[in-house]
């Protein structure tokens, strides 16, 4: 991976290069600044609730009834985690599978339209997925096991939503495996599957990882579709068919009507979610640091 990086000293930097460097750092600064601003904004808005009922109340209270002074966030944290993990378990193998299909197995007349098809799906608004889930998927699950609006419905809708992104990003990183590696694999007598397993997947691990990470982020942050199919009951689910509420749905459902402490408590949901994302990214960094073969 860091083969592609050239130390600055191998080139003689010109005046323009210095200028460009500062310009680029400016860009990166703005990009990073956006996150800092959002974090500060969330903390400021969440402050009253963190101060007055206290942060521990969000994890020790028995239920979520802000109007009656009960602020349990932990069932929603669990709901968010469960639906995201479930969706990733389904979407990542399917996404990589379809990317491999597109790049390796599909005949040319199919691969290109299929690629376009995926790009198209990546742009379907989440409200359309949610709408479809509400009128088609939920009644289907309801026939099987009421009430239909459930963790399972949320997982399926999230899977469908993040699949195109996962697949497209996986495809992009598969496409970047150098011809030399492939030739070398062929020379060593690897078949298609062997090449895939021992050469392609290891060499684009970083790209696949990024794909998974972005998909996880999208799933964690998805609001409208999840709100429409998950049932939104604040509880710890005991099975796949129990309704759940995610942190994002909590904000979207109640933010428009909340005032005072209730509103501030909703920003705590946002803050918890952001901390969740930060810890996810942190652990991902840690995992990717562990030595790999190849």
Partner 1 sequence: MVATWGAALVLLVFFGLLLGDLLRHGLAGLSWEFFTSPPRHAGREGGIAPILVSTGLILGVCMLTALPFGLGTAVLLAEWTHHRSRTGALVRRSLDTLAGVPSIVFGLFGNAFFCVTLGLGFSIVAGGLTLACMVLPILIRSAEEGLRAVPHDYRLAAAALGLSRATTVRRLLIPAAIPALLAGFILGLGRAMAETAALIFTSGYVDRMPTSLWDSGRALSIHIYDLSMNVPGGDARAYSSALVLIALLLAINAGSMWVGHRLASKRILAA
Partner 2 sequence: MCVRLALCACPDPNTLKESRVRPGRIALPLLLAVTLTEGCGESPAAHQPLTKLSITGSSTMAPLIAAIGKRFETRHPGTRVDVQTGGSSRGVADTRSGLAHIGMVSRALHPGEQHDLLGMPVARDNISLIVHTTNPIESLTAQQVIDLYTGHTTNWQSVSAVDAPVVVVNKAEGHATLELFLRHFHLKHSQIQADIIIGDNEQGIKVVAGNPYAIGYVSTGSAEYSIGHDVPIKRLPLTPTPVASATVHTGRSAIVRPLTLVTTRHPPAFVRTFIAFASSSHVHDLVAAHYFVPLAS
Q: What are the backbone angles phi and psi of residue 125, rounded to the nearest 5°?
A: -65, 145
Q: What angle do CA 293, 1, 16 make, to 5 degrees?
A: 165
Residues 1-30 that bind partner 2 (CB under 8 A): 30
Q: How far is the CB of 140 from partner 2 (least distance, A)?
A: 9
What φ, ψ does residue 145 adopt, rounded to 5°? Answer: -150, 105
Compute the distance between CA of residue 76 and CA of residue 58 in angstroms, rounded to an integer. 10
CA 256 vs. chain centroid, Å, equals: 25
Q: 244 in helix, strand or coil?
A: strand
Where do we find the tokens 């000293």?
9
Give the integer Cα–Cα distance in Å for 104 and 196: 9
Decide whether 212 or 237 has the Cβ nearer to partner 2. 237
Site string for partner 2, 208-227 (x = CB under 8 A): -------------------x
Residue 181 touches which member of partner 1, partner 2, none, C-beta under 5-8 Å by kind: none
According to CB under 8 A, which residues from 17 to 36 bind partner 1?
17, 19-21, 23-28, 30-32, 34-36
Nearer CB in complex with partner 2: 18/145: 145
- Looking at the Cβ atoms of 38 and 183, the one nearer to partner 2 is 38
What 8-state DSSP symbol labels residue 231? B
**Which range in 61-69, 121-129, 145-153, 233-241 contacts partner 1 by CB under 8 A?**
121-129
How far is it, in rounded angstroms, from Cα 23 to Cα 180? 35
Q: Which stretch binds partner 1 (CB under 8 A): 63-71, 138-146, 182-190, 214-222?
A: 214-222
Q: Do the Cβ atoms of 124 and 162 come closer than 8 Å? A: no
Choices 60-68, 75-83, 105-113, 176-184 (CB under 8 A): range interacting with partner 2: 60-68
Q: Which residues, numbered 224-243, are part of the site for partner 2 (CB under 8 A)?
A: 227-228, 231-234, 243
Closer CB to partner 2, residue 257 or residue 286? 257
**Minimum CB distance to partner 2 smaller for 103 or for 241:** 241
Write down the least CB distance from residue 239 to partner 1, Å.
24
Residues in region 119-138 near partner 2 by CB under 8 A: 134-135, 138
Q: Give every CB contact of residue 67 below 8 A, 6+ residues apart in sequence.
A: 262
Of 98-106, 166-174, 210-218, 259-267, the segment contacting partner 2 by CB under 8 A is 259-267
Using CB under 8 A as the binding rule, the residues of this chain from 265 to 294 that contact partner 1 are: 270, 273-274, 276-278, 280-282, 284-285
Binding residue for partner 2 (CB under 8 A) from 3, 11, 34, 108? 34
Per DSSP, the residues of 155-219 read: HHHHHHHHHHHHHHHHHHHHTTS-HHHHHHHHHTT--HHHHIIIIIHHHTHHHHHHHHHHHHHHH
Q: Which of 90, 214, 252, 280 binds partner 2 (CB under 8 A)?
A: 252
Tokens of 237: 């689910």
């Amino acid at each position: 991976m860091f083969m592609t990086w050239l130390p600055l000293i191998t080139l003689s930097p010109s005046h323009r290069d210095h200028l460009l460097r500062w310009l680029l750092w400016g860009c990166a600064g703005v990009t990073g600044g956006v996150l800092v601003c959002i974090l500060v904004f969330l903390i400021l808005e969440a402050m009253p609730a963190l101060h007055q009922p206290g942060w521990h109340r969000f994890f020790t209270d028995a239920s979520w009834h802000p109007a009656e002074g009960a602020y349990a966030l932990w069932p929603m944290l669990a709901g968010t985690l469960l639906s995201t993990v479930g969706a990733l378990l389904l979407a990542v193998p399917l996404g990589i599978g379809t990317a491999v299909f597109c790049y390796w197995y599909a005949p040319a007349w199919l691969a290109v339209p299929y690629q376009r098809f995926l790009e198209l799906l990546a742009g379907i608004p989440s409200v359309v997925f949610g709408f479809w889930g509400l009128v088609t998927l939920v009644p289907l699950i309801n026939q099987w096991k009421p009430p239909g609006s459930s963790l399972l419905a949320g997982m399926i809708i999230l899977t469908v939503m993040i699949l195109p992104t996962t697949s497209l990003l996986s495809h992009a990183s598969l496409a970047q495996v150098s011809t030399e590696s492939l030739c070398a694999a062929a020379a060593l007598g690897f078949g298609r599957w062997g090449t895939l397993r021992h050469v392609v997947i290891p060499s684009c691990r970083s790209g696949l990882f990024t794909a998974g990470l972005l998909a996880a982020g999208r799933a964690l942050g998805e609001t409208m579709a999840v709100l429409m199919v998950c049932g939104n009951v604040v509880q710890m689910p005991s099975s796949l068919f129990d309704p759940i509420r995610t942190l994002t749905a909590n904000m979207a459902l109640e933010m428009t009507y909340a005032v005072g402490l209730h509103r501030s408590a909703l920003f705590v949901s946002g803050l918890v979610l952001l901390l969740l994302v930060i810890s996810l990214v942190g652990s991902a960094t840690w995992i990717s640091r562990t030595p790999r073969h190849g």
